[in-house]
Amino acid sequence: MSRGGRRSSQAVTIQTVAERAGVSMMTVSNVLNNRRNVREQTREAVLEAVRELGYKPNLAARSLASAAAVRIGLLCGMGESGFLSSVLVGAVDESSERGAQLIIRRYTGHDVDAMLELVDELAQLGAGAMIAPPPFCEALSRRDLPIPMVGICSGDELSSTPTVRIDDRAAAKAMTAYLVSLGHRRIGFIRMDPALHAGRTRYEGYCEALAEAGIAIDQSIVAQGSYTFDSGLVAAQQLLSLPQRPTAIFAGNDDMAAAVVSLAHRMGMDIPGELSVAGFDDGPVAVKIWPRLTTIRQPVSAMSAEAMRHAVEIAQGAREADQEATYFDFELVIRDSTAPPKA
Amino acid sequence: MSRGGRRSSQAVTIQTVAERAGVSMMTVSNVLNNRRNVREQTREAVLEAVRELGYKPNLAARSLASAAAVRIGLLCGMGESGFLSSVLVGAVDESSERGAQLIIRRYTGHDVDAMLELVDELAQLGAGAMIAPPPFCEALSRRDLPIPMVGICSGDELSSTPTVRIDDRAAAKAMTAYLVSLGHRRIGFIRMDPALHAGRTRYEGYCEALAEAGIAIDQSIVAQGSYTFDSGLVAAQQLLSLPQRPTAIFAGNDDMAAAVVSLAHRMGMDIPGELSVAGFDDGPVAVKIWPRLTTIRQPVSAMSAEAMRHAVEIAQGAREADQEATYFDFELVIRDSTAPPKA
């Protein structure tokens, strides 16, 4: 089927060449890429059309296709979370934009040696630098790596590793202070995985805000989660079965907050009437549950793109792999899941 | 920091070489990849350690790093949906496994010419084949493309393009028949974007099941959505404001079903007591909302991996790019959002 005229005022394309040579676009591509058997006569017809039309393949693409192109690795867990989709959106767009090859390796476990094997592989594949969200950037930050790493959304600053992040501590403090400002005094908290730096820093922010409000930390309303919805269900069960329940629960991320909302519904509780719930991340789930979550927004795609920019510059030798943290602003997003406590 | 002994019984690694040469792993990597300036003396020390230890870089990685490696393109929209994360999981894992380079290009619009430009770019980057979910595989299936394409989860079989899919029509029919079996007679439907083949086939399945049950199609309870949560809200608003509401709503995908659930909550309706809701896809949102969604599961990661396998074989000349559809089984997953209608 023809794409007639779609680039009438533009440069000669692979399609124009195909039309002139009287062959398919696939044949042109095969000739240009020295692929497969193309009959000599056909090959000559294509090359003649290329010459006549002055066809120049996209130069950025050509250089990208060469072994000399800048290559950047991305280590990720990439389950089905919105967070990791956002990391990928930023990394794919920015690497395309900069003519860098993106090499993705996926790992869902916690074994640091296995992560290091993947970093070795990235180095052997010619990656000049890599970008990595938690848990990778945190687990690998003090290791001797074969290529420089840039951390994305690490829960704290990292020694010897540049990062692109928000201030998790300040963000958690802002959310807690907001709940206090609504009149809550008994605010439960669900911590992230202790292996994640955000497990510590978000909790510290919660404690700081309570301290400033003169509210004592009550460990009976602090539950341990990981980051999954299921871990949030377990933590919510613990907090909501207390004889004296919290009037608000701040979960370390949106998935765990969604679990609190789900369990509260199941128990017949009214949100936010009987219980306020807040999350962290503003992932896609935040607006798909009812009531929609009050949460902290971090611009993950933009942060991932920024990390990719750093990594490309490091790989090109235009920037040092220092240990600077580049900060993005977070945003307290107030929706329907929070309200003053019942009198 | 040392990784002492982590591979004591294993092959010599980049780390062993670094230790023997008394340099960092990054220096070894730089020497092996002919990167940057390494002092001649250091370079020699590294190469001597390589010789002494008989170090062999990962051969798959080496061949991958060369310009001759098989390259497979992936066109995707990759917003923050679970569907696209799943596509990526399958594509990344399978391409790593097969030693193929994955080249991802992202586009979120509907302009076919823009999609074709990206296919040209993939061809120029040396991709020997590409995989693509909707809308790409459907919009491009009748076009003359410079490289063969394998479709993932297309809503119907495609002419001139191999696909890996479930039978959307049969799945939608099974879900509708299940709702009928619960006793529902007034079953609303929210259609997907008419530009998607699934917009047609899932609706056809719904109609077939109603016809077999002797229930007439009532267009007043069929609403048009796209695939987004927000479009689902608009459609739900239309269906739930009818003087005589449906007792069940089957939405063309999970995000739109989640929107029906959200609006019903807001209106104070009990689900599934006053309204049953069913989705399609079994994406991550399905179990994060309350009540958890009854839906159709399609194994997207496995399907994407299968499409990648086909694409690699096509690129290697080991398989023809035919127009065969490879079918995966779907599963009717019954959860909490559906029940018999109130008497």
**pLDDT, tens digit (0-9, with 9 covering 90-100), for B117-152:** 999 999 988 999 999 999 999 999 989 999 999 999
Q: Are A262 and B288 a contacting pair at CB < 8 A?
A: yes
Do B178 and B264 reside in the same domain of the chain?
yes
Which residues, numbered 238 to 257 in chain A, qualify as contacts with chain B under a Cβ-Cβ cut-off of 8 Å? 255
Look at residue B4 in the predicted model and tell me its pLDDT: 35
pLDDT in tens, B200-209: 999 999 999 9
Q: Shortest Cα distance from B188 to chain A (angstroms)?
A: 21
Q: Shortest Cα distance from A236 to chain B (angstroms)?
A: 14
Do A267 and A321 reside in the same domain of the chain?
no
Which residues, numbered 48 to 107 in chain A, qualify as contacts with chain B under a Cβ-Cβ cut-off of 8 Å? 57-58, 61-62, 64-67, 78-82, 84-86, 88-89, 92-93, 96, 101-106
Do B187 and B284 reside in the same domain of the chain?
yes
B38 interfaces chain A, CB cutoff of 8 Å: no
Look at residue B53 in the predicted model and tell me its pLDDT: 86
pLDDT in tens, B234-266: 999 999 999 999 999 999 999 999 999 999 999
Alpha-helical segments (H) within chain B: 14-21, 25-32, 40-53, 59-65, 82-97, 112-124, 136-140, 168-181, 197-212, 229-240, 254-266, 300-315
Helix axes A112-124, B14-21, angle to 10 degrees: 80
ipTM: 0.83
Q: Are A147 and B57 a contacting pair at CB < 8 A?
A: no
Look at residue B77 in the predicted model and tell me its pLDDT: 86
Look at residue A26 in the predicted model and tell me its pLDDT: 77
Token digits for B86?
A: 């799943």
Look at residue A2 in the predicted model and tell me its pLDDT: 37
Tell whether the model's pLDDT for residue B66 goes beyond 70: no
Do B152 and B231 reside in the same domain of the chain?
no
Q: Are A33 and B258 a contacting pair at CB < 8 A?
A: no
Q: What's the CA angle centered on A162, arms A157 and A164, to 5 degrees?
A: 70
Look at residue A38 in the predicted model and tell me its pLDDT: 77
Do A91 and A182 reside in the same domain of the chain?
no
- Name the residue in chain A with its Cα closest to that of B96: A105
Q: Would residue B42 count as lying in a domain?
A: yes
Q: Are A62 and B261 a contacting pair at CB < 8 A?
A: no
What type of residue is B327?
Y
Q: Shortest Cα distance from B82 to chain A (angstroms)?
A: 5
Look at residue A282 in the predicted model and tell me its pLDDT: 93
Tell whether the model's pLDDT for residue B19 goes beyond 90: no
Confidence band of B324 (pLDDT split at 50, 70, 90)? very high
Q: Shortest Cα distance from A220 to chain B (angstroms)?
A: 26
Do B95 and B141 reside in the same domain of the chain?
yes
Arithmetic mean of pLDDT over chain A: 90
* Residue, of A85 and B11, whose pLDDT is higher: A85
A interface mutation test: which of B124, B141, B298 has the most A CBs within 10 A?
Answer: B124
Residue among A29, A62, A124 whose CB faces B147 most closely: A29
What type of residue is B29?
S
A102 in Cβ contact with A88 (< 8 Å): no
Tell whether the model's pLDDT for residue A9 goes beyond 90: no
Residue among B1, B78, B88 whose CB faces A144 most closely: B1
Dihedral, CA atoms, B153, B157, B159, B163, nearest 10 degrees? Answer: 40
B121 to chain A: which residues are within 8 Å by CB?
Answer: 58, 61
Residue B97: partners with Cβ closer than 8 Å, 6 or more residues away: none
Number of domains composing chain A: 3
Which residues, numbered 262 to 301 in chain A, qualify as contacts with chain B under a Cβ-Cβ cut-off of 8 Å? 262, 265-266, 283-285, 287-292
Mean pLDDT across the stretch B295-322?
Answer: 94
Mean pLDDT across the stretch B7-15?
Answer: 58
Q: Would residue A342 count as lying in a domain?
A: no
How big is the A-B interface in CB pairs under 8 Å? 207
Q: Would residue B210 count as lying in a domain?
A: yes
Look at residue B132 in the predicted model and tell me its pLDDT: 97
Q: Would residue B271 count as lying in a domain?
A: yes
Q: Shortest Cα distance from A202 to chain B (angstroms)?
A: 23
Residue among B29, B84, B86 whose CB faces A123 most closely: B29
Look at residue B82 in the predicted model and tell me its pLDDT: 75
Tell whether the model's pLDDT for residue B7 goes beyond 80: no
Alpha-helical segments (H) within chain A: 14-21, 25-32, 40-53, 59-65, 82-97, 112-124, 136-140, 168-181, 197-212, 229-240, 254-266, 300-315
Do A187 and A270 reside in the same domain of the chain?
yes
Do A152 and A199 reside in the same domain of the chain?
no
Q: Are A290 and B289 a contacting pair at CB < 8 A?
A: yes
How many angstroms separate the Cα of A55 from the Cα of each of A48, A52, A258, B202?
10, 8, 55, 44
Residue among B1, B78, B258 whose CB faces A89 most closely: B78
CATH number of the domain where residue A27 is located: 1.10.260.40
CATH number of the domain where residue A114 is located: 3.40.50.2300
B84 to chain A: which residues are within 8 Å by CB?
Answer: 85
Q: Shortest Cα distance from B237 to chain A (angstroms)?
A: 15
Confidence band of B177 (pLDDT split at 50, 70, 90)? very high
Q: What is the phi/psi pair of residue A164, to 5°? A: -120, 115
Residue among A67, A92, A123 whose CB faces B66 most closely: A67
For A40-54, what is the HEC assignment? HHHHHHHHHHHHHHC
| Domain, as residue range, for B81 | 71-166+300-327
A261 interfaces chain B, CB cutoff of 8 Å: yes
Q: Would residue B2 count as lying in a domain?
A: no
Q: Would residue A151 count as lying in a domain?
A: yes
Look at residue B42 in the predicted model and tell me its pLDDT: 87
Q: Would residue B106 count as lying in a domain?
A: yes
Tell whether the model's pLDDT for residue B230 goes beyond 70: yes
Residue B243: partners with Cβ closer than 8 Å, 6 or more residues away: none
Rounded Cα–Cα distance for residues A193 and B265 (Å): 32
Mean pLDDT across the stretch A225-246?
Answer: 96
Q: Shortest Cα distance from A288 to chain B (angstroms)?
A: 6
Helix axes B300-315, B82-97, angle to 10 degrees: 40
Do B148 and B193 reside in the same domain of the chain?
no
Look at residue A119 in the predicted model and tell me its pLDDT: 95
Q: Would residue B244 count as lying in a domain?
A: yes
Query: pTM for the full model?
Result: 0.85
pLDDT in tens, A22-77: 888 778 877 876 665 678 888 888 889 888 888 876 655 555 556 568 999 999 98
Residue B78: partners with Cβ closer than 8 Å, 6 or more residues away: A85, A88, A89, A92, B84, B88, B104, B106, B108
pLDDT in tens, A94-139: 999 898 999 999 998 889 999 999 999 999 888 999 999 999 999 9
Look at residue A27 in the predicted model and tell me its pLDDT: 81
Do B276 and B129 reside in the same domain of the chain?
no
Q: Shortest Cα distance from A180 to chain B (angstroms)?
A: 26
Do B104 and B218 reside in the same domain of the chain?
no
A337 in Cβ contact with A276 (< 8 Å): yes
A148 interfaces chain B, CB cutoff of 8 Å: yes
A interface mutation test: which of B120, B145, B282, B308 has the most A CBs within 10 A?
Answer: B120
Q: Sign of dihedral through CA atoms B147, A52, B117, A5?
A: negative
Do A173 and A288 reside in the same domain of the chain?
yes
* Residue, of A27 and A10, whose pLDDT is higher: A27
